[in-house]
Structure 1
Amino acid sequence: MNKQTIEYAGVPVGIAVPEDGLFRFIAVKFHVFDLDQRRFATLGQLSGAVHSHLSTGERLAA
């Protein structure tokens, strides 16, 4: 698997990069920088962390 774009509400917020059997998140939006460089076991866990982090209702700029 190559890099995969991670989106929230249709806006790309980062990429997932496979690394040692895990997925490293590289943030491209300020709103998710707290998650930058974290590693996740699955893409589902990564997406869930992004959704949970952004669930405050803050709107993303494209």
Structure 2
Amino acid sequence: MQKQVIEYDGIPVGIAVPHSGKLRFIAVKFHVIDLDNGLYTDAGEVRAAIRQHLNMAQPLAA
């Protein structure tokens, strides 16, 4: 395992770094901050968690 940039819709939203045999997600964009420090088995699982999180997100009220 090695460090990887994680993108969503072509935009970098974080990085995944090896940690105890898994990948720890470090968020760099506010809209995925709730996933910060999450542990995942691979980059595909990180991307799936991001998709699920953003599909459930409520629009911000002005």
After TM superposition, the score normalised by the length of structure 2 is 0.83
Q: Which residue of 2 aligns with 1:7?
A: 7
- Give the CA deviation at 1:6: 0.4
Aligned to 1:54: 54
Secondary structure of the structure 1 residue equivalent to 2:7: strand
Secondary structure of the structure 1 residue equivalent to 2:31: helix
In structure 2, what is the equivalent of residue 33 of structure 1? 33
Q: Deviations over 1:7-52 (max 9, x none)?
A: 0000000000011110000000000000000101121111100111
What TM-score does the superposition give when structure 1 sets the normalisation length? 0.83
Q: Unaligned 5+ residue runs, structure 1? A: none
How many aligned residue pairs are there? 58
What secondary structure is seen at the aligned counterpart in 2 of 1:2?
coil
More helix by share: 2
Displaced runs of 4+ in structure 1, greater than 3 A?
Answer: none
Question: What is the Cα-based RMSD across aligned positions, in Å?
Answer: 1.6
